[in-house]
Amino acid sequence: PEELNAHDAWIGLLPGSRKREIRQNLPLLLEAAQHLLQEHPDLRFVLPLNRDAAWETVDNILQDFSLPVLRAPGCFHSVLPHLKAAWVASGTASLEVAAHGIPNVVVYRIESRLGDWMARHALAVPHIASLNLIAGKKLVPEHLGRSLTPEGLAQDLSHFLTPAGRESFANDLKPLLPYFAQPGVAARVARTLEEFS
């Protein structure tokens, strides 16, 4: 979208494209955006979901928030070069965002007490973010389960808007750049996950 060129402080909102993911994650991300705007009033937000995403659900949720959000259906890859940072639902999108050098905060929300307990106690994986699994350490913040808060999401993303935060992320990412240049990254991530299951 041409609107992206009119502003230089875009934050990506990537709640997932399925209706359930959007219902669970988007309101949380928009609340976090409200908190972030208090500290960084120059920011703008963009939703680059697939064209076949549940846009009716997106629009219904957006009506409840007075925020500078640009809808960008089907423009995921063209939006990436414009992003300063992003909130991303756990999955392959977080890898693609990181592969473009974009700092991101990963969200994994489970809407049940049992699911929340399993996420915190029973999952065998040490991390939920694909990037962290590949790196073998925590490169991006992960917010898991019902305990995640808009304030926490805003605080972690705000760190990536500072020169020190961006430099730290870039330095941590450098060793992984050859990995991203190879084909089949998603398949290797799946194998990494299987090793912990």
pLDDT of residue 114: 47
Instruction: Supply the pTM of this predicted model.
Output: 0.84
Residue percentage of the chain with pLDDT more than 70: 80
Domains contained in the chain, number: 1
What CATH number is attached to the domain comprising 67? 3.40.50.2000
Segments forming the whole domain that contains residue 51:
2-195
Listing DSSP states for the chain in one string gives: -GGGGG-S-EEEEE--SSHHHHHHHHHHHHHHHHHHHHH-TT-EEEE---TTS-HHHHHHHHTT----EEE-TT-HHHHGGGEEEEEEESSHHHHHHHHTT--EEEEE---SHHHHHIIIII---S-SSHHHHHHTS-SS-EEEGGG--HHHHHHHHHHHTSHHHHHHHHHHHGGGHHHHHSS-HHHHHHHHHHHT-
Summarised one tens digit per residue, pLDDT across range 148-191 is 899 999 999 999 999 999 999 999 888 887 777 666 655 555 45
What pLDDT score does 193 carry? 44
